[in-house]
Amino acid sequence: MLNDGQRAVYNSVVNDFSNTLDGNGDMPGNVIVIGKGGVGKSFLIRGMEHGIWQVMMEKYGREEYATVRVVLKLAAFTGKAAFQVGGVTIHSLLSIGKIDRSYGIQPLQAKSLHRLQHDLKNTRFLFLDEMSMIGLRLLDVIDNHLRQIFSLHHDKPFGGLIIVLFGDYGQLPPVMDSPLYAPITDRSETILQHAFQLYRSSFTHAFQLTQQMRQQGTTDMDRRFQIVLSNLRTGEVQKEDWEFLQTRVLARLSPPERSIFESAIFLFSTNKEVDDKNTQMMEQAGTPVAKIEALYQGISKEEGAKVDSDYCNNLEHALYLSVGCRVNLPHFYVLMLGNVNKKHLAIERSLQWGSRHSLRNSLWRQYQATQSTNLCACRI
């Protein structure tokens, strides 16, 4: 099911890795996979994950590699980007705290180091999505931590792990960091010079995916939309692009067309706007609302309330559910007491209004069965 460009990447990484395990050839180097939105990067990630996992299971058995996450870790800079591909944030995966320019890179604490060495002992690959948001300082910290974790290979870049970067440099740049492509000179900070050399020397293969898989229409409107997206990406928006987008403004659509978007997902620039919209939708449902609050284990409630949801696998401090409301939850939530409807998580006769004690215990048992971290738990 892979197109030619995707197949080239797959063969270079997965097949070369398989041949290396069989004693043929050298271990594949680190790889960069570049492509605009819609060229199938996420689909390729899924295919490569499965291929690498199959290779390891055939070589060492399913007991040793029970899931794909044993051999391969998938991460991104933000929690939302990580969730889109089924991964975690880079910071939570490698216990990276705030990068302080004054004190440089701090070594991992003994407890964190021991845990990471246990969790990553059989890991061979690290896939990093949305690479445009990864800066040189963060890349240097990733390298430093992996060399500590895989101490037997501390003399190798990234501790000997194979790193694959996915993304598009036309997307969001790093926050308070220098992008991987930044021009670095002899006058630049030492950490930037080191990271720049690491990036230039250790990533030996680069692929560019160009075949558009998302917008494949051939009508005049399809082609016009593709051109608009391309111009938006490069910051070269033309007057005709603006005029084209104005034809799809909600207020200018006919009532039948407008009704199609009543159940659409809305994008807002602030969390307050998001909360206001969610409250409005629940009020319109006209059914009782259940409030599920986080219960913190190992830390006080005051300390737990300060923890960002990115470090709790996107588990929020408070979650509101109402029968009939459409919700979007991370894959590890199992809050249903009946069958799960993929479109509407809470549907009539699924979220049951039982006793506080029985409902809480049921949610807690299901939550424990699907969640590995002990930082947060659900209670009603």
* Closest by Cα among 176, 170, 283 to 229: 170
Domain assignment present for residue 162? The answer is yes
State what percent of residues in the chain have pLDDT above 70.
82
Give the list of residues 6+ apart from residue 205 with CB closer than 8 angstroms, or none.
Answer: 12, 28, 29, 30, 31, 32
Do 139 and 243 reside in the same domain of the chain? no
Do 254 and 152 reside in the same domain of the chain? no
State the Cα–Cα distance between residues 33 and 131, nearest whole angstrom.
9
Give the list of residues 6+ apart from residue 17 with CB closer than 8 angstroms, or none.
Answer: 27, 28, 52, 55, 124, 162
Please name every residue paired with 128 in a beta bridge, in sequence order, or none if there are none.
Answer: 75, 165
Residue finishing a domain among 209, 228, 243: 209
Our separate counts of H helices and E strands in the chain read 15, 9
Do 35 and 166 reside in the same domain of the chain? yes
In this prediction, residue 214 has a pLDDT band, given cuts at 50, 70 and 90, of confident
Domain assignment present for residue 89? The answer is yes
Structural domain of 257: 220-263
- Average pLDDT of the chain, as a whole number: 82
Do 180 and 317 reside in the same domain of the chain? no
For the ranges 152-156, 219-223, 231-235, 327-331, the lowest mean pLDDT is seen at 327-331
Do 80 and 204 reside in the same domain of the chain? yes
Alpha-helical runs (H) found in the chain: 4-10, 16-21, 41-60, 68-71, 79-84, 90-93, 110-119, 136-149, 190-202, 220-234, 239-246, 255-259, 271-285, 301-304, 356-370
- How much is the average pLDDT of 159-172? 94
Tracing tokens 């659409």 back to the chain, one arrives at 264
Provide the residue type at 195 as one letter.
A
Do 50 and 151 reside in the same domain of the chain? yes
Do 198 and 57 reside in the same domain of the chain? yes
- Read off the pLDDT of residues 47-72 as tens digits, 9 standing for 90 and up: 999 999 999 999 999 888 989 999 99
Domain assignment present for residue 214? The answer is no
State what percent of residues in the chain have pLDDT above 90.
44
State the Cα–Cα distance between residues 108 and 97, nearest whole angstrom.
10
Give the list of residues 6+ apart from residue 38 with CB closer than 8 angstroms, or none.
Answer: 212, 213, 214, 215, 229
Tokens of 239: 């007057």
DSSP notation for 92-146: HHTT-----TTT-PPPPPHHHHHHHHHHTTT--EEEEE-GGG-BHHHHHHHHHHH
State the Cα–Cα distance between residues 97 and 219, nearest whole angstrom.
49
Do 140 and 245 reside in the same domain of the chain? no
Domain assignment present for residue 108? The answer is yes
Please give the distance of CA 86 from its chain centroid, rounded to a whole number.
Answer: 6
Q: What's 173's DSSP letter? A: P
State the Cα–Cα distance between residues 140 and 274, nearest whole angstrom.
35
Q: CB–CB of 163/30 below 8 Å?
A: yes
Tracing tokens 């609302």 back to the chain, one arrives at 289
Domain assignment present for residue 69? The answer is yes
- How much is the average pLDDT of 147-152? 95
Do 73 and 155 reside in the same domain of the chain? yes
- Read off the pLDDT of residues 238-278 as tens digits, 9 standing for 90 and up: 999 999 999 989 889 999 998 888 778 788 888 789 888 88
pLDDT value of residue 365: 45
Number of neighbouring beta carbons within 10 Å of residue 312: 20
CA atoms within 13 A of residue 168's CA, in its CB half-sphere: 16
pLDDT value of residue 311: 64
pLDDT value of residue 261: 85
Do 238 and 285 reside in the same domain of the chain? no
Give the list of residues 6+ apart from residue 188 with CB closer than 8 angstroms, or none.
Answer: 196
Domain assignment present for residue 215? The answer is no
Higher pLDDT, 235 or 379: 235
Do 73 and 203 reside in the same domain of the chain? yes
Do 251 and 283 reside in the same domain of the chain? no
| Total domains present in the chain | 3
State the Cα–Cα distance between residues 176 and 89, nearest whole angstrom.
17
Residue finishing a domain among 182, 209, 236: 209
Question: Which CATH number fits the domain that encloses residue 114?
Answer: 3.40.50.300
pLDDT value of residue 352: 45
